[in-house]
């Protein structure tokens, strides 16, 4: 019976390792939840840099939370001036160069609020690990690595301030471990160091005679069958939205959204324009890829926060649903 003992100890050791791995993963997921909450629940102000390829863009942000919800001011520091004022889901964008005010609703996520509130599905598609502590914008931060389980999605490394959990730096990596894009604070104030007057618009008073564009609000949305299906859906992605959008002055557009819990892929289906676009990759910026394909007198546009191969797979797998 003695020879069996090493086997028993090996099994016990395996269970212990599995338990430790589970605990580490749970700790890393707890950090992701802390990061997701911090960007919405605390006051902060600072300057951050966005880098993709050889381009570098600098922005200044101030975020305030009180009983009325969230307020935010974002100002670009490079190129033509632009200021974005957000109160909860309502967004006003001032474009002084064109003397135009755009009024719309909040769409998508921006740094440092890059994580969704619902993190379901992330652990299914990424190995989530807590790694080293680093220093960003003069503050200590904890790094969390999200390693994709296949080559259909990007890898991520998030570094969050140790006390508040606010995201100080976010980097996105391709399958060859090359950095695709990076956001990072270079200067930051937190908590009581932030004052509400930091959110005061520099253009609200000056814009009284500017053109106001509310066309983005003049759209009807109805959840329903788009009439299209995805034959070869990328593993780990699930459909979370399917609707038709009626936009003033334009034909109705079908809109489908797929997500793996972190990355989103949007599909837009509309009647073919008079001048059909060339099929294939249209553009990319940082981690976002766009692919266009004409089919059945329709123009399909796929926009994804994923590698180009995933966007292309979605575009080439779309077809009208059999009736």
- Judged against a pLDDT cut of 60, whether residue 12 lies above it is answered with no
Token pair recorded at residue 109: 């996520």
Question: What pLDDT band is residue 6 in, cutting at 50, 70 and 90?
Answer: very low
- Judged against a pLDDT cut of 50, whether residue 257 lies above it is answered with yes
- Judged against a pLDDT cut of 80, whether residue 251 lies above it is answered with no
**What is the rounded average pLDDT for all residues in the chain?**
89
In 121-176, alpha helices (H): 122-125
pLDDT confidence of residue 224 = 74
Mean pLDDT of 100-115: 93
- Judged against a pLDDT cut of 60, whether residue 280 lies above it is answered with yes
pLDDT confidence of residue 248 = 57
pLDDT confidence of residue 13 = 45
pLDDT confidence of residue 219 = 62
pLDDT confidence of residue 17 = 43
Question: What pLDDT band is residue 218 in, cutting at 50, 70 and 90?
Answer: low
pLDDT confidence of residue 35 = 98
Domains of the chain: 9-213 (2.50.20.10), 218-320 (3.30.200.100)
pLDDT confidence of residue 221 = 66
3-state secondary structure of 138: coil
Q: How far is CA 288 from CA 14, 148, 164, 303, 316, in A?
A: 41, 17, 29, 7, 18
Nearest to 231 by CA among 139, 317, 135: 317
pLDDT tens for 190-208 read 999 999 999 999 999 999 9
Question: What pLDDT band is residue 74 in, cutting at 50, 70 and 90?
Answer: very high
Distance between CA atoms of residues 134 and 184, nearest Å = 13
The DSSP secondary structure of 65-119, one letter per residue, reads EETTEEEEEEEE-SSS--EEEEETTEEEEEETTTTEEEEEE--S--TT--S-S--
- Judged against a pLDDT cut of 70, whether residue 188 lies above it is answered with yes
Highest mean pLDDT among 181-185, 268-272, 273-277, 278-282: 181-185
Where is average pLDDT lowest: 91-105, 125-139, 171-185, 217-231? 217-231
Question: What pLDDT band is residue 43 in, cutting at 50, 70 and 90?
Answer: very high
pLDDT confidence of residue 10 = 37
Highest mean pLDDT among 221-230, 240-249, 304-313: 304-313
Mean pLDDT of 128-144: 97
Where is average pLDDT lowest: 30-39, 58-67, 247-256? 247-256
Q: How far is CA 131 from CA 124, 145, 264, in A?
A: 19, 7, 25
Question: What pLDDT band is residue 82 in, cutting at 50, 70 and 90?
Answer: very high
Backbone angles phi, psi at 159, to 5 degrees: -120, 115
- Judged against a pLDDT cut of 80, whether residue 58 lies above it is answered with yes
3-state secondary structure of 173: strand
3-state secondary structure of 240: strand
Token pair recorded at residue 19: 């338990």
pLDDT confidence of residue 261 = 93
């Amino acid at each position: 019976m003695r020879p069996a003992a090493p086997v028993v100890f090996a099994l016990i050791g395996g269970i212990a390792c599995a338990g430790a791995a589970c605990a580490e993963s749970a700790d890393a997921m707890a950090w992701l939840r802390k990061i997701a909450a911090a960007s919405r629940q605390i006051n902060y102000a600072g300057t951050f840099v966005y880098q993709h390829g050889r381009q570098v863009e600098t922005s200044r942000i101030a975020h305030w939370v009180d009983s009325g919800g969230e307020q935010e001011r974002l100002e670009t520091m490079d190129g033509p001036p632009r200021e974005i004022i957000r109160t909860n889901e309502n967004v006003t964008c001032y474009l002084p160069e064109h003397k135009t005010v755009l009024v719309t609703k909040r769409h998508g996520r921006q740094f440092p609020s890059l994580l969704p509130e619902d993190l379901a599905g992330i652990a299914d598609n990424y190995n989530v690990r807590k790694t080293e502590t680093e220093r960003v914008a003069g503050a200590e931060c904890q790094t969390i690595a999200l390693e994709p389980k296949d080559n259909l999605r990007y890898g991520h490394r998030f570094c969050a301030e140790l006390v508040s959990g606010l995201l100080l730096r976010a980097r996105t990596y391709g399958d060859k471990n090359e950095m695709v894009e990076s956001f990072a604070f270079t200067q930051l104030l937190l908590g009581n160091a932030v004052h509400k007057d930091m959110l005061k618009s520099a253009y609200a008073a000056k814009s009284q005679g500017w053109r106001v564009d509310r066309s983005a609000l003049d759209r009807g949305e109805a959840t329903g069958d788009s009439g299209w299906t995805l034959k070869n859906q990328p593993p780990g992605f699930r459909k979370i939205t399917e609707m038709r959008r009626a936009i003033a002055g334009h034909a109705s557009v079908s809109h489908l959204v797929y997500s793996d819990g972190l990355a989103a892929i949007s599909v837009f289906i509309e009647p073919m324009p008079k001048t059909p676009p060339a099929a294939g990759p249209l553009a990319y910026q940082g981690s976002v890829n766009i692919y266009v394909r004409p089919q059945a007198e329709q123009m399909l546009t796929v926009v994804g926060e994923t590698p180009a191969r995933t966007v292309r797979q979605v575009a080439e797998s779309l077809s009208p649903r059999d009736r």
